[in-house]
Structure 1
Amino acid sequence: MTSSMVTSSHSPIPPRPNLVFRQLRGQRSPGEFAAAVRRAAREIGEGVSCDARYVGRVEAGEIRCPNYAYERVFLHMFPGRTLADLGFAPRSSVRGRRGRAAEGPPAAPAAPPASVTDETRGAREPYETGNPPAPRGARDPQDPYQPYDPYQIHERHEIHEESDVLRRAFMTGGGATVAAASLGPLGPAHEAAAAGRPLRRVGASETQALEEAVRRIRLLDDRHGADGLYRRAAAPLRAAYALLDAGATRQSTADRLHSGAGELAISVGWLAHDSGRFDDARSHYAEALATARMTDDDALEAHAFCNTAFLARDAGRPREAVRAAQAAQRVARSLGSPRLMSLLALREAGGWAGLADRAGCEQALARAQAYFERGSSEADPEWMSFFGEAELEALEAQCWSTLGDWQRAARHARRAAHLQDPHFTRNIALYTAELADDLARGGRPDESAAAGMRVLDLLGEVQSSRIQAMLAGTARVLRPHRRASGVSGFLERHASSPRTA
């Protein structure tokens, strides 16, 4: 199967210089303008490694539409303008140039021209904010001339133009087949599995597509919540296990394939978990755990136990939550990630809170804080990019809420909502819903109603049964306080808001 990096190298559309962008640069040199781009990126929390060559490629028309990280930076630099106003082509006109694969042996890549550079080094989507920049020599996903290295498993990834297609397939598509087909090489695997046809042995391109599917599902969940994704995400998972059954051409590819399938099972399990399908979630997490143990993958095993602990807490099995979190910590100690150990200690704290063991909870919270303060490291798993100070505050808020300390819970929930990156729409809604509930139960109905209104504003973008259930609980607590400022309005709006099917 030919890499899409090769097929895209013969684009039928010749570069057209971006004269508008050149005009916006003005009298600044490409290097000076690149420095301004990097400063603007830092202002909004993005990580882009823009250089003079990148600016030159944009102006030469080689980059017809920037990736999403650069798009946010450019729109921040030039407020009120659209991508078209900046001289870029519509995203729809360049979408899909990756992900199309053809049968046959890989074609030899052309020699790279001198002007080609790594335009995306350091450009990160929201779910990648905790990861280090790409090492020198990592493959540029948009560079058709750079050879593909199947052994470069830690390369930088980002969501490209066709992720809008995937979003529409997941959120509004006509079934699982559409969603699977939009995942590039996973589409044929899904079709073969559905038809009972055998698959040929798996290579690097299928494995890369599987890893990309995991990233995309996480990104969509961060932005839109789980309810609109779960059923459609099952098809890529079936395709992943069909690839496992087919086997791989190399052991390194087989290891990546098992890890990717396990991570996808956890992602689909989380979608089930967040949309209230606890039995389905438990099954998916167990599948990931079995995959991890078959391949001695400690990182995957720690992740599976981590999510199992979270699920057990939500399902009312706090002792299981404690045991799963402790098992995860035993496995994770060898991985060298203090941030992972911090999250796992928080999972344990949640279990102790469910057992009404305040001392055990406080001890686990102290460990979580101590690990967190050691900072991030290159050993931090990619899936943990959501875990920053905001999530730390939110998970502590949940512990105090479970223990009935509403004032302390509200304080941490407020911090979490304030600290959260605006790209994580679902988490902002979740943290604000937690705040609304803590305020309601703590005897501050007016503030609770105001927070609840903010959550309702976000539910047009987010579909999460967890958040809706929290908001429904808050509404029940507030009903006796209709006369308090804003409460009646919140209750009326909540009663009329649509519910996720």
Structure 2
Amino acid sequence: MLTALGWSPEQLLARVNQRRAQRGSLPLHAKTGYPWLRNGRPAAEVRPDVLAVLSYYSERPVTAAALGWDRPRSRRQRPLDRPYEATATELLRDTQGEVPMQRRSFILLSGAAATAPALDLLMSGSPLLRAAHEGDRVSKQLTTTVEQAVRQARELDDSEGSASTLLWAGGIWQNLGKLITECRYGTAEGLRLHTAHIEMSETYGWMLFDAGHHPQAQRVYQTGLRLAREAADSPGAHQATVNLLASAAYQESWLGQYHEASALLDVAENRRPQSLTPRLRAVVEMRRIALAGQTGDTEALRRADGQTRTHLALARDSEEPYWSLWLSPSAVDAQTGRALLAAHHPDLAEAYLGGRTVDDAEGYPRDRMLFASELAAARAQTGDVTGAAHAARKALTLAAQVGSHRVHRHLDAVTATLRQEHESHPAVRELLTDTTRPEQPPQP
């Protein structure tokens, strides 16, 4: 009908809004009509206005049945339901709804569905994501502000964990997607915005993973990977993509999806390997340590541990991404210890985990709390109940600073085991007293 009338959807909406204005109703957005051309339909309160306008200008009655609006609505899959088939633009737009990401419902992806966006990074020829032709222009100053916000989100997660920061970080991620799809910007600003979104996808995805929102974290990771494939190539975007792949692989290892984790790490290593800095190589090998521990492959674990330390020793921090500076020799010790514990070698794990929780400088309380609770588990399994209770108490002292559901659940599991198996032990009784004592208000 629009073709017969010679109208665009915007022209139809302009006439519909004229009719709505006559009775004092709010106007509809000029782009509202486009979904009606793709098997959508107007809302119930809008439909009579649309039909009246079409009937008036076509000079014949137009009914809902004539336009197919009387049939049951077929459920349309959203791009986030099938991120392995969608483009970056589709995914970015599908994240811009009113419901926060952690409150949306998705199924957990596995197999080829989980790895497809990563494997696509190995293919060339993808069309580049373009800025909008219309819309406000993104200035250099705004681009710098976006980059600062992304960095602050990561620092906040490192210092506090995910629980209290999800809404704020999700807003940054969502609004950055809106800038990319709805605004105009030059090539230089586009590269920076795309890189910032990939970095923010890693940070926000990690927060969702840390809070136990695993399907949502996968969607965030995969949206970042789709954008990485369609973004213009640059060292910063490539480095951020490698880090994103490594974090996505860590989540897959945690979920027991070992084949998928290995595939993600292979892509991280084999996509432009000449561009990998020593610290980036160390980050990837660090995630291989975790994977080897989960699969019980102690030979691969020791090999990855050695490679991580070799790469780390070659790094010149002034030439490395800021987000890779958390990786230190003691962090490698802690990850290796945790992996050995997962591989059922608590005696070997204890030596690695002890140094992380005792000798590390202040900072990264979530990691320190996690590895202190892992140390408690290792000592409990080797029969050192006093040492286990001491490590659990150390984790408990960090608990008030950490908003990570994942780490708190781990500490709860360790203390529950100590209670069930060693409740009469003096050190365990003292620990259990600490865990049940009501929190004291801060002193003036």
Same fold by TM-score greater than 0.5: yes
Deviations 1:71-108 (A, max 9, x none): xxxxxxxxxxxxxxxxxxxxxxxxxxxxxxxxxxxxxx
**Partner of 2:149 in structure 1?**
213
SS of 1:386's equivalent?
A: coil
Residues in 1 aligned to 2:367 and 2:289: alpha-carbon distance in whole angstroms: 20
Alignment partner of 1:238 is 2:158 = no
CA separation of 1:219/1:463 partners in 2, compared to 1, >3 Å: closer, same or farther? same
SS of 2:394's equivalent?
A: helix
Residues in 1 aligned to 2:203 and 2:268: alpha-carbon distance in whole angstroms: 17
Alignment partner of 1:469 is 2:409 = yes
Contact 1:282 1:308 (C-alpha < 8 Å) held by counterparts: yes
Residues in 2 aligned to 1:409 and 1:466: alpha-carbon distance in whole angstroms: 20
Residues in 2 aligned to 1:473 and 1:329: alpha-carbon distance in whole angstroms: 35
Selected match of 1:392 from 300, 309, 332: 332
Selected match of 1:318 from 258, 276, 283: 258
Residues in 1 aligned to 2:343 and 2:391: alpha-carbon distance in whole angstroms: 22
Contact 2:390 2:427 (C-alpha < 8 Å) held by counterparts: yes
Deviations 1:267-311 (A, max 9, x none): 111111111111111111111111111114321221111111111
**Partner of 1:482 in structure 2?**
423
Shift of 1:446: 1.3
CA separation of 1:250/1:495 partners in 2, compared to 1, >3 Å: closer, same or farther? same
Structure 1: segments with no counterpart, 5+ residues: 1-174, 177-197
Report sequence identity in percent: 21
After superposition, residues 311-390 of structure 1 pair within 5 angstroms as 311-331=251-271, 333-390=273-330
Residues in 2 aligned to 1:321 and 1:376: alpha-carbon distance in whole angstroms: 28
Shift of 1:481: 0.7
Contact 2:295 2:343 (C-alpha < 8 Å) held by counterparts: no
**Partner of 2:192 in structure 1?**
256
Contact 1:286 1:304 (C-alpha < 8 Å) held by counterparts: no
Bigger drift between 259-268 and 373-382 goes to 373-382
Shift of 1:323: 2.1
Residues in 2 aligned to 1:485 and 1:203: alpha-carbon distance in whole angstroms: 63
Report the TM-score, using the length of structure 1 for normalisation.
0.57
CA separation of 1:425/1:313 partners in 2, compared to 1, >3 Å: closer, same or farther? same
Selected match of 1:202 from 138, 152, 162: 138
After superposition, residues 22-37 of structure 1 pair within 5 angstroms as none
Alignment partner of 1:228 is 2:167 = no
Q: How large is the Cα RMSD of the aligned pairs?
A: 2.1
Residues in 1 aligned to 2:249 and 2:217: alpha-carbon distance in whole angstroms: 12
Deviations 1:439-497 (A, max 9, x none): 12222121111111121111112111121111112123212111223112223433567
**Partner of 1:107 in structure 2?**
none
Report the TM-score, using the length of structure 2 for normalisation.
0.64
Shift of 1:231: 2.4
Structure of larger gyration radius: 2
Residues in 1 aligned to 2:334 and 2:438: alpha-carbon distance in whole angstroms: 25
Contact 2:135 2:184 (C-alpha < 8 Å) held by counterparts: no
Shift of 1:336: 4.1
**Partner of 2:3 in structure 1?**
none
Alignment partner of 1:301 is 2:241 = yes
Contact 2:366 2:402 (C-alpha < 8 Å) held by counterparts: yes
Deviations 1:203-247 (A, max 9, x none): 112211111111111111122111111123211111101110133
Residues in 1 aligned to 2:315 and 2:384: alpha-carbon distance in whole angstroms: 35
SS of 1:483's equivalent?
A: coil
Contact 2:305 2:332 (C-alpha < 8 Å) held by counterparts: no
Residues in 1 aligned to 2:333 and 2:144: alpha-carbon distance in whole angstroms: 34
Selected match of 2:355 from 415, 418, 426: 415
**Partner of 1:67 in structure 2?**
none
Partner amino acid for 2:211? S
**Structure in which a larger fraction of residues adopt helix:** 2
CA separation of 1:229/1:382 partners in 2, compared to 1, >3 Å: closer, same or farther? same
After superposition, residues 419-430 of structure 1 pair within 5 angstroms as 419-430=359-370
Runs of 4+ in 1 over 4 A off after TM superposition: 495-498
Shift of 1:199: 4.6
CA separation of 1:231/1:303 partners in 2, compared to 1, >3 Å: closer, same or farther? same
Contact 1:309 1:320 (C-alpha < 8 Å) held by counterparts: yes
CA separation of 1:239/1:455 partners in 2, compared to 1, >3 Å: closer, same or farther? same
Partner amino acid for 1:467? V
SS of 2:271's equivalent?
A: helix
Partner amino acid for 1:370? T
After superposition, residues 57-76 of structure 1 pair within 5 angstroms as none
Contact 2:162 2:404 (C-alpha < 8 Å) held by counterparts: yes
Structure with more relative contact order (C-alpha pairs < 8 Å, separation 6 or more): 2
**Partner of 2:372 in structure 1?**
432
Shift of 1:416: 1.7
